[in-house]
Amino acid sequence: MKIDLENIDVKRIREILRFPLVYPLGRIFIKLKFRKDKITSVSYEYALDLVKHNYMGKNKVVITNILMPSELFFALNLFPLLPEVASAFTASIGFADKTLFHSEEIIYSKDLCSVHRNVIGLTRGGILPNPDFIISTSHPCHSALHSFFLISQFFGGEYLPIDIPLKNNNFIGYTAKKFEELFFLLAKKLKIKNPIYGLERAINYSNLARNYLVEINELRKKYLVIDGKNFLDYAGMIFSTFGSHWGVKFFKTLRDEIKERIKKKKFLPYKKRVYWLHLGPYFKTDFFDWLRSKSCAIVFEESSKVYWDELDPKDPFNSLAKKVVNARIFSDVEERFRLALEGVKEYGAEGVIIFNQWGCRQGAGNSYILRRKLIEKGIPAIVIDGDLIDKGNFPLEQIKTRIEAFLEVL
């Protein structure tokens, strides 16, 4: 069935999504359609639950950014919506051209991060529900702080920014206090008594999911059975499901699938191995197929790194604060350099691809010197200036030519 994206009736779809029956039917459909692909099945079931929570009009809607601990929301039975995930999804179904266009009615500049332009367009077009709470950390980027404020001004929603004193362990308490205050504020607004029980559950789920992801990453060190391109797609699950049973289910399914493939010796035959920094394009492109056709696999990615310790259920706010304050991904050049070196060593990568998102000043800003630092260490590295969402900013042929030359060096 081909959906006519141009003439999609958003209002009608939003009305349909208010019917409870849609969801069990949707689940049956997903289970049938993806019965052979359990990973996709679980991620779609999660997406359906996310839609159910946010579109049926019964729950409060919270928009947040990638490094805000989702555990705090799941503890309160909130299903957080992330711009990256919403944007990746719209781009993957070919809808982003339209939503980016919608955003221009509000923001005139195309020089802003397309993830956030897209999310403004999605809200403007009524595709995303108007948020009740808009919560963002100051790390990894300020784009969320700015775009969320704009959304709150145009579409409503309580704006709650959280400062992260990055890598300053003297200020763990400062961040922990902010998380704690936010948590109890939300609990009060949602009239949840004893919210701390929910938090304990969320922390336990988070630790379970983390353990599966750690195991997955260990297996990937030895066996190449799933290309990293898939893991770039799973980044949304890493950023948005920790603290929920979906996170546990997804990463367990993924771990089982990897083990199964190893057992059946379904190893990928690619000869060249690269480590990938930042996320990757989410719109339809043959880029990754082309990369594989050149016998090149992505063996690990910045976004899959488990950089935090197990959370302490007895000290939830402090351990969540530690997780965010010490976030190693999407960080400064020294940290990304260390990550790349680890990636190269542990996953046997021969080179590094640094993907730049147009408009992502925090990600792209240190990419040129990061490349130089890697080359100084004898590790081939290349920077691709592209876009996650806006295919207009992804000069495919030019990128292929450059990557081809790069692969020859490996």
CB of 84 to ligand SF4, least distance (A): 6
Helices (H), 156-314: 172-189, 195-222, 228-240, 245-263, 287-293
Lay out the site mask for other proteins across 103-132 (x = CB under 8 A, - = otherwise). Answer: ---xxxx-xxx-------------------
CA distance 200 to 340: 34
* 143 is a contact residue toward other proteins (CB under 8 A): yes
With CA atoms as reference, report the closest residue to 201 among 159, 243, 158.
243
**Are 227 and 280 in contact, with CB atoms under 8 Å apart?**
no
Could you count the other beta carbons within 10 Å of the beta carbon of residue 11?
A: 8
- Rounded Cα distance between 253 and 232, Å, is 17
Taking the least distance from each CB to ligand SF4, the nearer of 97 and 390 is 390
| Bond preceding residue 129 cis, omega within 30 of 0 | no
Residue with tokens 């290349």: 382
Closest CB to ligand SF4 among residues 139, 249: 139
Confirm or reject binding of residue 143 to ligand SF4 (CB under 6 A): yes
Q: Based on the shown chain and the rule CB under 8 A, indicate whether residue 166 belongs to the binding site for other proteins.
A: yes
385 binding partner (options ligand SF4, other proteins, none; Cβ < 5 to 8 Å by kind)? other proteins
In whole angstroms, give the CA distance from residue 216 to residue 3.
36
Cα separation, 317 vs 319, whole angstroms: 5
Measured from the CB atom, the residue of 34 and 171 that comes closer to other proteins is 171
> How many residues touch ligand SF4 (CB under 6 A)?
11
Residue type, 5: L
**By CB under 6 A, residue 330 contacts ligand SF4:** yes
Could you say whether residue 141 binds ligand SF4 (CB under 6 A)?
yes
Burial classification of residue 191, based on how many CB atoms lie within 10 Å of its CB (0-12 exposed, 13-18 middle, 19 or more buried)? exposed
Closest approach, Cβ 68 to ligand SF4, in A, equals 12
**DSSP string across 323-339:** HHHT--TT--HHHHHHH
171 scored as a contact of other proteins (CB under 8 A): yes
- Give me the half-sphere count of Cα atoms (radius 13 Å) on the Cβ side of residue 302: 24
82 near ligand SF4, judged by CB under 6 A: no
Q: From residue 342 to residue 361, what is the string marking binding to other proteins with x (rule CB under 8 A)?
A: --------------x-xxxx
Count of chain residues binding other proteins (CB under 8 A): 46
Candidates 136-144, 157-165, 229-237, 319-327; binding stretch for ligand SF4 (CB under 6 A): 136-144
- φ/ψ (deg, to 5) at 112: -90, 160
State in angstroms the smallest separation of the CB of 318 from other proteins: 15
Segment 341 to 360, residues that bind ligand SF4, using CB under 6 A:
357, 360
> Considering only residues 176-205, where is the footprint of other proteins by CB under 8 A?
177-178
Which residues would be at the binding site for other proteins (CB under 8 A)? 106-109, 111-113, 138, 141-143, 145-147, 149-150, 153-154, 159, 161-163, 165-166, 168, 171, 174, 177-178, 332-333, 356, 358-362, 364-369, 372-373, 385
Which residues would be at the binding site for ligand SF4 (CB under 6 A)? 113, 115-116, 140-141, 143, 330, 357, 360, 362-363
